[in-house]
Amino acid sequence: MRLALVLVSFVAVVLAGCSGGGVDEFGGDLYSSSCAHCHGSDLGGGIGPALGAGSSAADLTDQQIKNVVRIGPGAMTAFGDRFSEEQLESLVTFLRSEQDS
């Protein structure tokens, strides 16, 4: 009986760990609230350049994208340390998932 309980909680933990899509959604939320009004809700561009598949942003490294967000080149907002490393990471994960689709 106790073993069954242990197994059940183990499965629950594994399942929770697998719902990694949550990270993308989180990055997607950050993108919608902080980036979409300039780069387009479909990453197609607007005030800022397109960021989706085939864009030059797709050729930037993860680190370069994080730096762009911090520094805000040209007319882009400089976000400085507004985002934590985890938030920057999930933004990049979101951009990559859109660029790959």
The residues binding ligand HEC (CB under 6 A) are 34-35, 38-39, 47-49, 51, 55-57, 60, 65, 68-69, 73-77, 79, 91
- How far the first Cα of the chain sits from its last, in Å, is 46
Distance of CA 39 to the CA centre of its chain: 14
Q: Smallest distance, Å, CB 20 to ligand HEC?
A: 20
* Cβ proximity to ligand HEC, 54 vs 74, nearer residue: 74
* Cβ proximity to ligand HEC, 9 vs 41, nearer residue: 41
| Pair of tokens at residue 13 | 């933990």
φ, ψ (nearest 5 deg) of residue 54: 80, -5
Q: How many whole angstroms separate alpha carbon 25 and alpha carbon 87? A: 11
Q: How many whole angstroms separate alpha carbon 93 and alpha carbon 20? A: 11
Q: Smallest distance, Å, CB 6 to ligand HEC?
A: 43
Q: Smallest distance, Å, CB 36 to ligand HEC?
A: 8
Residue nearest ligand HEC by beta-carbon distance:
74
